[in-house]
Amino acid sequence: MNIKVINDFIKNIFKGQDFIPLHAPTFGGNEKKYLNNCIDSTFVSSVGEYVDSFERKIEEFTKSKHAIVCVNGTNSLHIALLLAGVKNDDEVITQPLTFIATTNAIVYANATPVFVDVDKDTMGLSPIALKNFLENNCFIKDSSCFNKITNRRIKACMPMHTFGHACRIEEIITICKEYHIEVVEDAAEAMGSFYKGKHLGTYSKISAISFNGNKVMTTGGGGVILTNESEIAKQAKHLTTQAKIPHKWEYNHDEIGYNYRMPNLNAALGLAQLEQLPEFLKKKRTLTAKYIPFFKDQGISFFNEREEEECNFWLNAVILDNKEDRDLFLTETNSNSVMTRPIWTLMNKLPMFKNSPKGDLTNSEWLEERVVNIPSSVV
Ligand SMILES: *Cc1c(COP(=O)(O)O)cnc(C)c1O
């Protein structure tokens, strides 16, 4: 591994930048115009034309029947879990190799995360590990799945599409159906990613995407719930707007709701970003096309897309041979103004989740020691 050659290559791609971040947002379209319109209209908060038009444009882009925008991706996932029927003391299966928000959303829904291994080639939940876990640890009673050891109901499964790469979502949905488990895709990182021509997050009945500042496109802070079912969409809007019963002047609320609706200012920014998304995706693909042959020459493996996948290449990732190489790579890039980051610490190792149920996590542990994200901004 010739780290100088790697640093020079990356610096040459992002020419003219003193510090090269992992992922910086790009604002080159109607952002300022829409934001000014928003301020001029005085509709800066959660009622306004941009909130609605942004939702309709997300529906068009993803081909999801309904899109309900929220303050961020984490609370979009929270509501998605509630609408999947997750109740207090349920368990939700997820992968240990994910960003903390996935697991936190499960806890916000008063459920316990259960960690099942990922596939090495997708870095997403493994259908084989999932089937093994369910066969060995669970039983079905009255059309519900229960964990044999904890006796808690396993109500949902939340696989995550790592760095915008599709996990084996079709197989996961088939297995979960057999066990009466609802699937909620954490498509937070997958705006603009497709598998077999279908946008990620539209495979499960309900899912969520994030528009945080470091994602493919941003609303500042924001997220969206996707669903094809109009009853779930109605519920999502209701829950994210304080569960207020629509009325011309009266304040009535029929359940505990949340103040989770995206403000107009954020939606204005999002609309301008979405208009440029196809261009962003094209440029990200061009960047990845430069990285692939370069890292091949360096003898370093690169996390590429699988067949039938059209990845957004949100964050490009390399897989080093071992932890020592990974640490050397991290040290030498970061000390030379090239920002790189290791993949997340496994969730089961965090103090809050050390007692959570889990299966065999061999692949997750293998990836945890080797995967590094490299600069991936639109250039
Ligand atoms: C970004 C992200 C989220 C949460 O999104 P926020 O908008 O930052 O709340 C959830 N899950 C994953 C995997 C993410 O990467």
CB of 103 closer than 6 angstroms to any ligand 1 atom: no
- The predicted structure's pLDDT at residue 1: 83
Contact 98, 162 (CB under 8 A): yes
Report CA(74)–ligand 1 centroid distance (Å).
6
Residue 8 covered by a domain: no
Is 188's C-beta closer than 6 angstroms to any atom of ligand 1?
yes
Q: Whose CA is nearest to atom 14 of ligand 1?
A: 188
Secondary structure class of 313 (helix, strand, coil)? coil
pLDDT at 130: 98
Alpha carbon of 86 to those of 44, 159, 190, 370: distances in Å?
33, 15, 23, 34
Confidence (pLDDT) at 46: 83
Q: Is residue 304 part of a domain?
A: no
State the distance from the centre of ligand 1 to the C-alpha of 79, rounded, in angstroms. Answer: 14
Q: Which of 336, 370, 373, 342 is nearest to 12 (CA)?
A: 336
Contacts of 21 (CB under 8 A, 6+ apart): 339, 375, 377
Residue 330 included in any domain:
no
- CA 302 to chain CA centroid, Å, is 20
Domain extent at residue 145: 31-274
Q: Examine residue 312 and state whether it is found in any structural domain, yes or no.
A: no
Q: Would you say residue 266 lies in a domain?
A: yes
Over the chain (379 residues), the average pLDDT of each successive run of 10 is 94 96 97 97 91 98 98 98 98 98 98 98 98 98 97 98 98 98 98 98 98 97 98 98 95 97 98 98 98 97 97 98 98 97 98 97 98 97
**CB of 55 sitting under 6 A from ligand 1:** no
Asked if the structure places residue 163 within a domain, the reply is yes
Which pLDDT value is given to residue 33?
98
Residue 120 lies in a domain: yes
**Structural domains counted in the chain:** 1
CATH code of the domain covering residue 103: 3.40.640.10
The catalytic residues are: 215
Any ligand 1 atom below 6 A from CB of 287? no
Nearest CA-CA partner of 14 in 331, 291, 329: 291
Q: From atom 13 of ligand 1, which residue's Cα is the shortest distance away?
A: 99
Is residue 158 within 8 Å of 102, Cβ to Cβ? yes
Closest ligand 1 atom, residue 162 Cα:
13
Please provide residue 363's backbone torsions phi and psi, each rounded to the nearest 5 degrees: -65, -40
Q: Is 99 in the pocket of ligand 1 (CB under 6 A)?
A: yes
- The answer as to whether 20 is a domain residue is no
Indicate the top mutation candidate among 189, 258, 269 to test ligand 1's pocket, ranked by most ligand atoms within 8 A of CB: 189
pLDDT of residue 374: 98
Q: How much is the pLDDT for 291?
A: 98
Q: How far is the CA of 306 from the centre of ligand 1 (A)?
A: 23
**314 φ/ψ angles, rounded to the nearest 5 degrees:** -50, -65
74 CA closest ligand 1 atom index: 9
31 lines ligand 1 (CB under 6 A): no
Residue 47 has a pLDDT of 86
Nearest to 339 by CA among 5, 17, 78: 17
The rounded Å distance from CA 315 to ligand 1 centre is 13
Which of 212, 218, 273 for mutating ligand 1's site (highest number of atoms within 8 Å of CB)? 212
- CA–CA dist 270, 375 (Å, integer): 23
- Ligand 1 neighbourhood includes 219 CB (under 6 angstroms): no
Ligand 1 and 357: CB distance under 6 A:
no
